[in-house]
Amino acid sequence: MIILLAIIQLPVLAQSDNKGDQGTIKYPQETHFKNIRQLTFGGDNAEAYWSFDDSRLIFQATNKAWDAECDQIFITTIAGGNMQQNAPLRVSTGQGRTTCSYFMPGDSTILYASTHEHDAACPHKPPREIDGNYVWPVYDSYDIYEADAQGRMIKKLTDTPGYDAEATVSPKGDKIVFTSMRSGDLELYTMDIDGTNVRQITDALGYDGGAFFSPDGKQLVFRASRPQSPEEIARYKELLAQGLVMPTEMELFVCDADGTNLRQVTHLGKANWSPFFHPSGDKIIFSSNHAGEKGFKFNLYMINTDGTGLKQITYDGVFDAFPVFSNNGKYLVFSSNRNNGGTYDTNLFLAEWED
């Protein structure tokens, strides 16, 4: 879920009196974008991930026009796909709430997290804010499933009490990383591609999630909260007991794929999240509101894995997040509130990338 992303309606982080910039697809300062194309035109669209052959995207969307009252999983093709006129292929069940989809090796199967076994209805939405701070729900009914690329269920990959979601697949095609509550805290785990050999990767108190493998599959990048003071720790535990996390203070971490050599990459304050490795494996692109005066105004940034060389990539007035490079490194897909007609719609955009 980029909890959503399950992350979970992350796009609403952009809500404010300052709505999406009108008519703007690309800002002059966005020099890494050779060109850009808008892919969706309404609803909340997020967490778009590439097929291994870079021909398709799988993503989650809330869109009544697509019969998705809460997040469901869809697939679209890059060449010839026209989601402005035609609904993409829904590959989730249409029941419950789903999040964090990903293509499996070979592109004939997919995985995603879903609450449909617990209840066919969309789960209850808690208040967006508690004590003036934004919160994410962490539904304990989420489990991770494998289906074919037409949406036919194959098997359940997790079956433990509590939250299991935010799964992504190594570019090597051998491992899955995901976030789970099975230890009593939100930690990272890996498992083999068939769901076996589950191994805990992190163990520090706080939320660990939104993890991705490096291009060579040897490292992981993820977002994490690290409550320190007794008051912060008590508040974190109190919210977690209610199935909530407060993502307003998060930094980025990198470790080896087995959890060793853990190090903090960002020290920016506020919310730094949705990280993804640059094709070189030496840099990380991510979303952050650290430069904003208030809680909104998220833009994309890039930083070296050693924490140096911070550079701003997008210059949106409200919200840019979920950046993901294609496997060939030529394109970047991301979610944005730009050009949303004065609404709070979050759409997908595809940019041709230039280093």
Question: How far does CA 228 lie from the centroid of its chain?
Answer: 25
Q: Is 23 part of a structural domain of the chain?
A: no
Q: Is 24 part of a structural domain of the chain?
A: no
CATH classification of the domain holding 208:
2.120.10.30
Render pLDDT for 52-83 as a digit per residue (tens, 0 to 9): 999 999 999 999 999 999 999 999 999 988 99
Q: Is 90 part of a structural domain of the chain?
A: yes
Q: Is 15 part of a structural domain of the chain?
A: no
Q: Which residues does 186 contact at the CB level (< 8 Å), separation at least 6? A: 138, 163, 179, 180, 206, 207, 208, 209, 240, 245
Residue 21's pLDDT is what? 64
- The C-alpha atoms of residue 123 and residue 34 are separated, in whole angstroms, by 41
Q: Is 14 part of a structural domain of the chain?
A: no
Number of domains in the chain: 1
Render pLDDT for 91-120 as a digit per residue (tens, 0 to 9): 999 999 999 999 999 999 999 999 999 999
- The C-alpha atoms of residue 338 and residue 53 are separated, in whole angstroms, by 28
Q: Is 13 part of a structural domain of the chain?
A: no
Residue 295's pLDDT is what? 66
309: left (phi over 0), alpha (psi -120 to 50) or beta: left
Q: Which residues does 18 contact at the CB level (< 8 Å), separation at least 6? A: 296, 297, 317, 318
pTM recorded for the entire structure: 0.93
Average pLDDT along the chain:
93
Q: Is 210 part of a structural domain of the chain?
A: yes
User: Which domain does 87 fall in, by range?
Assistant: 33-353
Q: Is 69 part of a structural domain of the chain?
A: yes
- The C-alpha atoms of residue 113 and residue 163 are separated, in whole angstroms, by 10
